Structure 1
Amino acid sequence: MTHDTEWYYNLVTGQVEQYEGGRAEDRLGPYRSREEAQQALEHAQLRNEQWENDPRFNDPDEDDADGDGESDWGTSAFDTFKP
């Protein structure tokens, strides 16, 4: 794709725009067509649902690295290294 054929969905404005639009961190894309960019939020929601329901990412034992029976999700890397 070249810049003149790229489309983006702007999360701030809710508008579809081409390359010269808003800031990169405010946009989803690039997409091949304006219509595809208009469906960006639906595509993102579908990918999120697929990820949340993927058993490779929902193994409860993986979150218990120290074996204490409690999830370690959200702990700092420094919390795992105790003298």
Structure 2
Amino acid sequence: MSKAPQYWFCLIHRTVEGRDGCKNADRLGPYATEAEAAAALEHVQANNEAWDNDPTWDDDAEAEDKKED
């Protein structure tokens, strides 16, 4: 039984890698296709922008909670 190929985006080398690439701490994935892995940074940016504009998410409230402790 063969596994489907997987791809990662290496944050160090800024390239798409296969399973035997850099350590997982230095890359994003796995992704099902090379194209998805190549677009990893765009996907991360889109998620960050969505979270930044999410009215239900409040980073400042968590910081305030920690100050009160």
Q: Supply the RMSD in Å over aligned alpha carbons.
A: 2.1
Structure 1: state its 5+ residue gaps.
66-71
2:25 counterpart SS class: helix
Q: Residue deviations 1:7-54, cap 9 Å, x none?
A: 000000001001110011000000010011000000000000011110
Percent identical residues: 36
Q: Look up the match of 2:8.
A: 8
1:57 counterpart SS class: coil
Q: Report the structure number with the largest CA radius of gyration.
A: 1
Structure 2: state its 5+ residue gaps.
none
Structure 1 distance, partners of 2:46, 2:18, is 24
Structure 1 distance, partners of 2:59, 2:53, is 11
Structure 2 distance, partners of 1:47, 1:33, is 19
Structure 2 distance, partners of 1:59, 1:26, is 25
TM-score, length basis structure 1: 0.69
The 3 A distance-change label for structure 1 pair 59 and 29 is closer
Structure 2 distance, partners of 1:59, 1:22, is 32
Structure 1 distance, partners of 2:21, 2:10, is 8
